[in-house]
Amino acid sequence: MNTITNHLLAMPANHTLYHYFVIQGALRLYTPSSIMDYLPGQYSISAIDTPLSNQVLQSPLNTLALSFQTKDVIDMILQLPMLFREIR
């Protein structure tokens, strides 16, 4: 979990997939196509519109960042058929 009290949040590398979950505070992300604000309970998914920069709108900002390597995502997808068989 990240707690930010200044005005910028370190962004992950562009080649990784990640999710940012806002727990407390407010965050503005600047993407190539728009500017989006996130409040507690909202999240950003990097694969949809990767942010170029950001601004903390309300401090303290508490976020949970989950990052994935492409290999990890592919491995999870390949395991889905086994999970569905176990559920039945």
Q: What is the pLDDT of residue 48?
A: 67
Residue type present at position 26: A
Q: What CATH number is given to the structural domain containing 47?
A: 2.60.120
User: Residue 41: CB partners within 8 Å, gap ≥ 6?
Assistant: 22
Q: What percent of the chain has pLDDT over 70?
A: 75
Whether 7 shows a pLDDT value over 70: the answer reads: no
Whether 75 shows a pLDDT value over 60: the answer reads: yes
Question: What is the chain's mean pLDDT, rounded?
Answer: 80
pLDDT, average across residues 10-15: 64
Domain that holds residue 74: 2-87
Q: What is the pLDDT of residue 26?
A: 93
Q: What is the pLDDT of residue 6?
A: 54
As a whole number of angstroms, the distance between CA 75 and CA 88 comes to 21
The total number of structural domains that make up the chain: 1
Q: Which two tokens stand for residue 31?
A: 């993407």
Q: What is the pTM of this model?
A: 0.66
